[in-house]
Amino acid sequence: MQEYNIFTYGWFIFIVMVGVFIALSFWRRQPIGISLMFGAIVGGLVSSNGIPVRHLVEGAFLYFDPMMIIFTAMFFMRVIEENGALKSLAKLIIETFGRAPALLVVVMTVFIMFPAMLTGITTTSVLTTGALIAPILITMGMPRVTAAAMIAMISIMGMFAPPINLLAMLIGQGVDLPYIGFTGPLAAIAFPLAFFAAFTLGYPYLKKADPLQALSQLSDNNSKSQHWTLYLPLLVVFVLMIAVRLLPGTIPDIGVPLIFTIGGITGLFTGKKVRVTKAAYRALLMGLPVLGLLAGIGMFLQVMTLTGVRGLLVVTVLSLPIALTYVGLLISLPVFGGVSAFASAMVFGIPFLLALLGRNEIVVCAGIALLAGLGDVMLPSAIEARFASQIVGEKNYLLVVKKCLPFVLVFALVALAVIHWADKLAIFIF
């Protein structure tokens, strides 16, 4: 009888915490990070722990490393955007591959993915390279909804692709799985799916159009922006990231945040003049919602651990038969990801990874991260569908969500297949 009471009491605490979070974030329109913080506070009060200040502070700094990566990567992206590197690179792509539609789709896909690959955040791709490519796609005859869906789905795959996959980092950190060996599995999944979305949505229009007509969208009278030194920051970041992995004994691992900082500083001396304070401020402004979200997630999970709710979720998931585990993966991660992909990865991703221990943990973690990331185009928030609709000038973002849903289903089934055959796939990936 005591076990039953503990079980029901734990679920009551969890329901109250989630209820407060939903009430504040959707009814009161509060930031998700703030809503998670108040959900954690109420969880402490309901569980007779009072306001657990120490746990709230510890939780706020639980993901300090990813926060540093996000801010420094945002700073780097802001610098190369303001000094003209991104626009120059987009123009170079159109000029070089404009007469070969298939190659143009491939290169354009990687170009859109690039910011999210470096930051681990979908929004950076949508609002930077996606915003640059959107008018080009529309000029070449692509409907606005199709262009928005293409940018949104490619950006999600950019967030999922290496070298930085924050979802996999957060899930792995919850089970003491180091972020090592993920490059192969993430790349093997992300790039084929990104190309699938790009060719399905974009190629039918690009093969009929003359992409060179879209160069007017990227006109720039500043000749300095075309100098080769403009791409030096990109080269510095790329070389440092590769070097610390290929030559670990020779070149010390200075950390991803420092690599992005060095790249950003390099960009201050190439191309157009960039004010460092302005670039840092805009980077912080753009990354603040995600930084606050990670702090809120940390508080929420810390209180869940304090009250025993986190253990309850783990035990519940571990007790599910394998068929229901797959159903739970397919439903809970993308649906809760519609609130927050990061929250979905942490709240549900960790228990499901523990439930699937015994298979290749890296491949399973990658599949779970993919399911959580798909929530970025799912209701109720559908945050990337909203941003993508804004950059193409489409007022009804629900049309973009509808256009993305078939790809969400296909990608979710691929994720389940990856999880199910994780051991067999690991033989070919590693």
Each residue of 79-111: pLDDT tens digit?
988 998 888 888 888 888 888 889 999 999 999
Confidence of residue 212 (pLDDT cuts 50, 70, 90): low
Question: pLDDT value at position 417?
Answer: 96
Confidence of residue 3 (pLDDT cuts 50, 70, 90): very low
Q: Any bridge partners for residue 404, and if so which?
A: none
Question: pLDDT value at position 31?
Answer: 82
Distance CA 111, CA 90 (A): 8
Angle, alpha carbons 302-304-307 (nearest 5°): 110
Q: Cβ distance 122 to 388 under 8 Å?
A: no
pLDDT at 19 over 60: yes
Distance CA 258, CA 392 (A): 34
Distance CA 274, CA 267 (A): 8
Confidence of residue 2 (pLDDT cuts 50, 70, 90): very low
The pair of three-digit structure tokens given for residue 100, joined into one six-digit string: 């070969």
pLDDT at 145 over 80: yes
Distance CA 341, CA 423 (A): 26
Q: Shortest CA distance to 122 belongs to which of 94, 164, 181, 88?
A: 164
The pair of three-digit structure tokens given for residue 61, joined into one six-digit string: 């700094």
Question: pLDDT value at position 1?
Answer: 37
pTM of the predicted protein model: 0.80
DSSP 167-207: HHHHHHHHTT--S-S-HHHHHHHHHHHHHHHHHHHTHHHHT
Window from 40-44, 333-337, 373-377 with minimum mean pLDDT: 333-337
Question: pLDDT value at position 155?
Answer: 95
Q: Cβ distance 373 to 424 under 8 Å?
A: no
Each residue of 146-181: pLDDT tens digit?
999 999 999 999 999 998 899 999 899 888 899 989
Question: pLDDT value at position 223?
Answer: 42
Question: pLDDT value at position 86?
Answer: 85
Q: Cβ distance 90 to 218 under 8 Å?
A: yes
